[in-house]
Amino acid sequence: MQKKYLLVIIVLLSSLTGIRAQQVIPSSILTVQGRAFSEVPGFHRVDTIKYHNIPPAVKKLYAHAAGLFITFRTNSAKLSIDWETADAALGNNSTPIMSRGFDAYVKEPDGWRFAGVARPQLKKAESSYTIVENMEKTEKEFLLYFPLYKELRSFQLRIDEDASFSPTIQQFDKKIVIYGSSIVHGASASRPGLAYPAKISRSMHADVINMGVSGNARMELSVAQMINDIEGVDLIVMDCVPNCSPEQVTERTFAFVKELRKRHPNTPILMMESIIRQIGNYNLEWKKKRHKQNVNFRTEYERLLAAGYKNLFYLPADHLIGDDYEGTIDGTHPTDVGFERMVKIIQPKIEEILDLKSKM
């Protein structure tokens, strides 16, 4: 009997030793990438104390980690993460992984390949998860996207005890700022890396700054003034029509572009219409509103051209999420299929604009 208990104790101790035999990599040694400004508190996208004139709802959303990521190299066979978000609440049209989880990719010769996700606890703000395990012990470069719809409070990585580890920083030759609604923010991708700004970033190897603010992209001048402080911008994308009333589109578009031109006088600006919301298939009021939003946006674009503004480009909503009525989760927010369809139209337009810019 004593031998049996001794064996149980040895097994338990071995198990505990196995758990402890890991390196803990603190977030402090990693460089947060994908945000507009280097001096930002925590894992926020914007220093909202500095930009105190931004509306309170917009400030709260810029505390979300949408579009932020880290990269690093390791030969660990296992990659785990411990993290805490501001709370455990979830939206009714989002997955827990997209909202509060992480999304990992490994760099291959032909680009970044999906490796695994970190699934959050559903009832607690603190979570721990093994993203991927049983890998070959060869050195790989990882890209890890942060949660899209939560303020990330803290995180640490865990790797094999004897594994190598080195932070990396991606070098991009172009910077694209995308300002917009919940669709830019990432609703309703299944995981962080499938939001359309992230997909374009990987595909084009571009520094794509996600400035989406769910439900609150209303072209306030204070937001344009903040965007004006972003340096080295090659293209600004305005995908903000969905959150503006038709009247706001008329009242604010011209002034917003005029404000941007104070600090970005020659930077190309791509003005995108609102996607055709499938919620308007039978809801006539939604259909009427969306149509009026885009009509007014086109009018303001033409008014800007007539006033002499240059390097303005326009992208109609036609076919952005497909024509089979199967591109959204709720009639408004794209599924992964919807986002893929958007990228197939938006990316060629971006490449065309940047190609023209390079020839100027």
Query: What are the φ and ψ backbone dihedral angles of 83, each rounded to 5 degrees?
Result: -155, 165
* pLDDT for 14 beyond 70: no
The beta strand positions in the chain, using DSSP E, are 22-26, 69-74, 79-85, 102-108, 111-118, 126-132, 140-145, 152-160, 165-168, 175-180, 207-212, 235-239, 269-272, 312-315
* Cα gap 83→103, rounded to integer Å: 13
Specify the pLDDT at position 360.
78
Specify the pLDDT at position 21.
84
Specify the pLDDT at position 357.
81
* Cα gap 321→270, rounded to integer Å: 18
Answer for the pair 189, 148: CB distance below 8 angstroms, yes or no: yes
Edge-to-edge strand list for the sheet holding 140-145:
111-118, 102-108, 140-145, 69-74, 165-168
Specify the pLDDT at position 358.
86
* pLDDT for 184 beyond 50: yes
276-311 in b/e burial notation, b at 16+ Cβ within 10 A?
bbbbbeeeeebbebbeebbebbbebbeebeeeebeb
Tokens representing 137 are: 């012990």
Among 322, 346, 345, smallest CA distance to 334 is for 322
Q: What is the mean pLDDT of residues 189-202?
A: 98
* pLDDT for 11 beyond 60: no
* pLDDT for 16 beyond 50: no
| Domains of the chain in sequence order | 23-168 (2.60.120.260), 175-359 (3.40.50.1110)
Tokens representing 54 are: 């931004």
Specify the pLDDT at position 186.
98
Mean pLDDT across the chain = 94
Specify the pLDDT at position 19.
53
Residue 166 burial by Cβ neighbours in a 10 Å radius (0-12, 13-18, 19+): exposed
| 253-291 confidence digits (pLDDT tens) | 999 999 999 999 999 999 999 998 889 999 999 999 999
Q: Angle at which helices 336-359 and 196-204 pack, to 10 degrees?
A: 50
Answer yes or no: pTM beyond 0.85.
yes
| 234-247 confidence digits (pLDDT tens) | 999 999 999 999 99
* Cα gap 230→164, rounded to integer Å: 35
| 326-340 confidence digits (pLDDT tens) | 999 999 999 999 999
Confidence grade of residue 4 (pLDDT, cut at 50, 70, 90): very low
Specify the pLDDT at position 297.
98
User: Which run of H or of E encompasses 304?
Assistant: helix 284-306
The DSSP result for 189-217, as a single string, is -SSGGGSHHHHHHHHHT-EEEEEE-TT--
Tokens representing 221 are: 């001048």
For the chain, give the percent of residues with pLDDT over 90. 92
| 298-312 confidence digits (pLDDT tens) | 999 999 999 999 999
Tokens representing 194 are: 């499938």
Answer for the pair 119, 97: CB distance below 8 angstroms, yes or no: yes
Q: What is the mean pLDDT of residues 169-183?
A: 98
Tokens representing 149 are: 């719809």
| 54-108 confidence digits (pLDDT tens) | 999 999 999 999 999 999 999 999 999 999 999 999 999 999 999 999 999 999 9
Residue with tokens 């104390």: 49
